[in-house]
Amino acid sequence: MLKLLTPCLVVNTIYDINLALLKQRGIRGIIFDLDNTIVAWNSPELGPDMRAWLQQLSGHELKVCLLSNNGNKRVKAIADQCGAPFVARALKPARTGFRQAVHTLGLTPAEVAVVGDQLFTDMLGGNRLGLFTIWVQPLASQEFIGTKITRQFEKLAIRLLRASGRL
Ligand SMILES: [Mg+2]
């Protein structure tokens, strides 16, 4: 279980992701979580810096897909702001949504990275499918009540991961 929660890479912010390194590893597409990864929780729009950063990825020959447990309407609104395809109501950490996103990108799991702020949804689901998992610190402290509960388990998992030298 601990192994499946362990991110392949840990960064403070999305802007710290080394794109050249990803490409060296054969990554050709990135799946992004929505809430507290590219937008603050419940926010209806991408900030200008985040939008610009997401849009420049195509210049690096990296395809983008958004993957969220949130509803279709909100996810689409944000996906449209950066011109990316999306999968909503993903039921992460279930593999189905991740598979759909990989399929949307037209790539194989080995060619795809996933960026997210939660160990129990984004990292667990991504690792289960063999994606290159990248864990970012949440953008804001405000969260969905369900996430606040999961965070308590996440804190425990982080302690265990650190104690076992995985983080
Ligand atoms: Mg999130």
Distance 28 CA to ligand 1 centre (A): 22
Distance 34 CA to ligand 1 centre (A): 6
Q: How far apart are CA 57 and CA 62, in angstroms?
A: 5
Residue 130 φ/ψ region, left for φ over 0, alpha for ψ in the -120 to 50 degree band, beta for the rest: left
**Helix or strand or coil: residue 65?**
strand
Tokens of 65: 């897909």
Q: How far apart are CA 164 and CA 10, in angstroms?
A: 16
**Domain range for residue 34?**
2-163
pLDDT, tens digit, for every residue of 64-73? 999 999 999 9
Distance 117 CA to ligand 1 centre (A): 5
The pLDDT score that the predictor gives to residue 145 is 85
Give the contacts of 152 (CB within 8 A, at least 6 positions apart).
none
CATH code for the domain of 42 = 3.40.50.1000
Distance 74 CA to ligand 1 centre (A): 14
Distance 70 CA to ligand 1 centre (A): 10
Q: Are strands 86-87 and 9-11 parallel, antiparallel or unpaired?
A: unpaired
Distance 36 CA to ligand 1 centre (A): 5
Distance 59 CA to ligand 1 centre (A): 25
Q: Are 80 and 37 in contact (CB under 8 A)?
A: no
Q: Are strands 112-116 and 86-87 parallel, antiparallel or unpaired?
A: unpaired
Give the contacts of 147 (CB within 8 A, at least 6 positions apart).
35, 41, 118
The number of domains in the chain is 1
The pTM score is 0.95
Residue 53 pairs with which residues in a beta bridge? none
Sole residue written with tokens 């996440």: 154
Angle CA(130)–CA(39)–CA(155) in degrees, nearest 5? 60
The pLDDT score that the predictor gives to residue 10 is 97
Distance 116 CA to ligand 1 centre (A): 6
pLDDT, tens digit, for every residue of 28-61? 999 999 999 999 988 889 999 999 999 999 999 9
